[in-house]
Structure 1
Amino acid sequence: MRRHEFQPGRMVAGAVLLTAGVLYLLDATGEADLAWWVIVPLTMGGLSLAAMLGLVTYSVRRDRRDRISPSSDG
Structure 2
Amino acid sequence: MTMTSDTVRGVLDAPDGTLLVMRDGELTMTDDDSGAVLVTTKAALVEQLGDDRSPERLETAATALNDMIDKLGA
TM range (shorter): 0.3 to 0.5
The structure with the greater share of residues assigned to strand is 2
The structure with the greater share of residues assigned to helix is 1
Greater relative CO, 1 or 2 (CA 8 Å, sep 6+): 1
TM-score by length of 1: 0.37
TM-score by length of 2: 0.37
Higher Rg: 1
